[in-house]
Amino acid sequence: MKKLCGILAASLLCSALGIGAAQADEPNKIKAGILLPLTGTFAAVAETQKQGALLAVEVINKKGGLNMPWGKVTVEGVVDDDEAKLDVGVRRYRYMVSDGVRGVGGQTWAPLAYAINAIVSKEAMPYFPVCVMAKEGFQKGKIADSTFATAYSPWTVGYMAGTSAVKTLGKKRIFFLARSDSFGWDIRDGVYAAAKEFGAEIVGYDEVSLGTSDFTTILQKVRAAKPDAFIFAQFGGDAVALLKQVHQMGLGKEMAIFNAFITNVVAKGVPAEALQGIYAMHYFYYDLSGLADKEAAKSAQEFTELFRAKYNTPPDAYAAIAYIAYMEMFRGFEAAKSLDPKKVSVALMANGGQFTSVKGPANWREDHSAVYKHAAFLVKGKGADERKQEWDLFSVMGSMGGEAVMPTLKSLGY
């Protein structure tokens, strides 16, 4: 009798544990981690990324939550500061995991995204970096099965900038200024590839470290080389400082000035007279009304209205990157009908990885990089007299996208 009671008790315990496990795997609320450098060098850009992520969470919750087989699941966005430091970022990522997040997005600083990608390659977690991650990170065997990057590598940024300068603007003599890290070197390689492909000449090259504030000596070298286009990889505060000094020296009167990658946050930090006539590639610009693709223009307008309603400003490029990332994370959960990272990855790659973004159609490639019909927009800075309102910073001249602007899968080891 005692033996029978023991068996029944064990059976009841196992049943209870089984029910608990099932309930734990079918929650009515989940946490999504939002890990960004909210203090330090990249804080201004990180703030826009946080806005995009939280807007995606709000959009899902306003629909009642994720549509899962066991019912509606609401999402809580859990925000933390990675400080753009490897040790801090990894520690806080691990804390988020211990706190029960079911997916994580973030990073403005690519080296930290690379480090977290290495973790999730061993400990699967839906991970969506929202920065321009180094080309090396997309190589076969390095990108984790559960990592999906809604921004491409810096190589693509450089290739688009170089191609636009040569083919659209008709420039044939390029001076390129890199940043002394993978971001700058990848952009350099993309610019060089475009120059070689389309018959332009690199007449000068230099590189400076992140945080450089005085570009006087560099700009004297640029002037002496007599290029017809000066393309540079500087971003954030570095780009602001450089563009101000370019204007002070009057280089814009002698050559086309081309900032490889720009955001509205950067543009707002540049005096109107220094931004006027500057060319750049922009991942997303809120006003695409002049674009020939009216469907993409409509999608951008709808997203802009949604963003304005919450934040009273138009969305910046990195807000769009983050919004797309989290909406894809949530689509992955729904398509997989599961929170399991492996199932989510398979679901995102199904049907050719196709999805719709706020700037038009896109698809996930084998390297888990997003390929967009409109990867970036060629923009030209407006002066004070051209602006109709505070955020009327650029005119859109066109776009580039598709497989043509991506490094080949073969070059990445596929």
- Positions of the chain with pLDDT under 70: 1-24
Q: What is the pTM of this model?
A: 0.92
- Long-range (24+ apart) CB contacts under 8 A made by 195-199 are 195/162, 195/166, 197/163, 198/162, 198/163, 198/166, 198/167, 199/166, 199/172
Give me Rg for the CA atoms of the chain. Answer: 23
Question: Do the domains 29-151+299-372 and 155-282+375-412 sit in the same CATH topology, yes or no?
Answer: yes
Question: In this predicted structure, what is the pLDDT of residue 24?
Answer: 56
Question: In this predicted structure, what is the pLDDT of residue 237?
Answer: 87
Alpha-carbon distance 128 to 368, whole Å? Answer: 10
Q: What angle do CA 299, 303, 305 make, to 5 degrees?
A: 115
Average pLDDT, the chain: 93
Question: In this predicted structure, what is the pLDDT of residue 95?
Answer: 97
* Domain boundaries of the chain, sorted by first residue: 29-151+299-372, 155-282+375-412
Question: In this predicted structure, what is the pLDDT of residue 353?
Answer: 95
Q: Which residues contact 285 (CB under 8 A, 6 or more apart)?
A: 264, 300, 317, 377, 379, 394, 396
155-282+375-412: CATH architecture: 3-Layer(aba) Sandwich (3.40)
Q: Which residues contact 123 (CB under 8 A, 6 or more apart)?
A: 97
CATH homologous superfamily, domain 29-151+299-372: Response regulator (3.40.50.2300)
pLDDT in tens, 17-54: 443 444 457 999 999 999 999 998 789 899 999 999 99
Q: Which tokens in the block code for residue 311?
A: 């934040």
